[in-house]
Structure 1
């Protein structure tokens, strides 16, 4: 096969991939919009297809079920967190951790309590789902906060930065689940910010400043 032919085929393949990604984004956007308005159970696949302007066959080409949308629906969390932290790279570790947790809470509140609850139920009941993916941006950003604190000699815990980040992440994920279990009866962001004050003790300088 000639080089020109290969280039043409690659260009076609790339266009198809781009179209597929756009269709998937359209489906997700349509589904999340409808689910926030009506609730998960009151939205059908037919409703989603109509909103997205696609056929049911196109839907099933991208997603095996309505429930499978939940995992993809929360995938933008990494991009959301990265955008929220942009411009805070030079902040002190304790301040940057506060920004991470605030952005995490805002994302969950914007997604809505019902969808967040459905997402966690799916993760808990799916045996192939990892409890925590260390490659995800949110956890990596938290690890880097504590690594910087360790480099600066202000990490109070005798544990590794990875252990402390994992501990914090598990706690605040638990706060989100508690929020869902209480039927979203309280604001998540203020609760996160309140609990965060307990975790500033991991930073020696921060704790010292607060006592003075």
Structure 2
């Protein structure tokens, strides 16, 4: 690995450490009560390093879901050959577990931040691993003749994300008072009907 690659990897690790520290502190104390200094101390970095990666504490929220893609990649590794309905459930259940791990308050702040910056469409960026994985899964289902005709792969993937984002918002409105995964599992039992069984 050359110098430039090492620096890039080091920057990625520092950013991940900052996000992880902020998440842990926010879970314990609420996001409003966590200071940049607290985050830096927990991550073992200087405040200068923090501001090299993030403009502010609020800026963390814009990129707070970036670790989802890494977690999704780990969850799907070795399952590329699974049937599409099983792989789709793995995608959705990993998404639900990730969201629940963030805690309802932090997720609420994330969505508030998105509402305050409506031009930020990063969560549905088509290059993101999570969205690409779902599209690939549904495309395979279509190629195998498993997807019901009349709905495009892209529309179906978008529908899933819109629906499950709604479930997450309902969970936030209920202040995380019920476990998210069983709720999504119930919904998925219905959504499996998009696959034609032979």
Residue segments in structure 2 that go unaligned for 5+ positions in a row: none
Name which of structure 1's ranges 21-30 and 119-128 shifts more when overlaid on structure 2.
21-30
How many residues are paired up?
Answer: 196
Matches within 5 A, 1:69-80: 69-80=60-71
Contact 1:157–1:202 (8 Å) recurs in 2: no
1:200 is aligned, of 188, 192, 197, to 192
1:47 is aligned, of 38, 43, 55, to 38
2:162 is aligned, of 142, 166, 170, to 170
Larger radius of gyration: 1
Q: Secondary structure at the match of 1:68?
A: helix
Q: CA deviation at 1:52?
A: 2.5
TM-score (norm 2): 0.90
Matches within 5 A, 1:122-137: 122-130=113-121, 132-137=124-129
The answer as to 2:92 corresponding to 1:101 is yes
RMSD: 1.9
2:175 is aligned, of 183, 191, 195, to 183
Q: CA deviation at 1:49?
A: 2.1
Q: CA deviation at 1:14?
A: 4.7
2:146 is aligned, of 139, 154, 172, to 154
Name which of structure 1's ranges 160-169 and 186-195 shifts more when overlaid on structure 2.
160-169
Name which of structure 1's ranges 93-102 and 136-145 shifts more when overlaid on structure 2.
136-145
Q: Secondary structure at the match of 1:145?
A: helix
Structure 2: how far apart are the matches of 1:15 and 1:148? 36
Cα separation, partners in 2 of 1:43 and 1:161, compared to 1, 3 Å: same
Cα separation, partners in 2 of 1:138 and 1:21, compared to 1, 3 Å: closer
The answer as to 2:51 corresponding to 1:60 is yes
TM-score (norm 1): 0.84
Residue segments in structure 1 that go unaligned for 5+ positions in a row: 1-9
